[in-house]
Amino acid sequence: MDGVKVDGRVERGEQTRRQILRRAAEIASVEGLEGLSIGRLAGELEVSKSGVFAHFGSKEELQLATVRAAAAIFVRQVVDPALVEPPGLGRLTRLMDGWLAYSQNRTFPGGCFFYAVQAEFDARPGRVRDAIAGYAREWNTYVRETVAAIPEVADPEQVAFELIAFLEMANAQSVLHDDPHAYDRARAAVRNRVAQATAAA
């Protein structure tokens, strides 16, 4: 049975990697991915620089791993809970509420991780931009498909665009202006737009 035992060093290494990436995502949500450095993370988490470097090898690899880790957290907090609802209005409602809670409850201290880093990399070619853009496309597609599963909606593309805009505006208003009412306004806007889109012709 010795062969099935998990090497304690491997498990500790994975735990350290998770801690590094969680802290990296928190920093990036406030200061951007360029605010990350192996030295800073080593100091904050009280691990060696060589230990952090061994996990990633370069700043770009650290940035890419941080984007992937943030995406996994987003999926767990926003997408997965909505999947308990069958396709239709209930799933869309759960998805929208989940996104607003994810931002409002500061899963990341800077609000939505992807809203923060998209602005940083939107005009900069490279692997990091491609990764961020890829996750953004997946999110946009998922929202559109979720809307499209509601038969009454005539133009899922337009409705999805508007709903995402409401979410992102709430995040921006809250983070930049410390507006305590931004999320309530976004919830009302989402509710009204969905009601309009599903009203009988």
d(CA 168, CA 67): 18
Question: Whole-model pTM?
Answer: 0.90
d(CA 102, CA 112): 7
Helix (H), strand (E), coil (C) string for 43-75: HHHCCCHHHHHHHHCCHHHHHHHHHHHHHHHHH
Does 2 score more than 60 pLDDT? no
d(CA 193, CA 176): 25
d(CA 162, CA 125): 27
Query: Could you report the per-residue pLDDT of 83-117, keeping only the tens digit for each?
Result: 999 999 999 999 999 999 999 999 999 999 999 99
What integer pLDDT is reported at residue 51 of this predicted model? 84
Give the chain's domain count: 1
Read off the CATH number of the domain in which 14 is found.
1.10.357.10
Does 175 score more than 90 pLDDT? yes
Range of the domain at 48: 2-198
Per-residue pLDDT band at 5 (split at 50, 70, 90)? low
Does 7 score more than 90 pLDDT? no
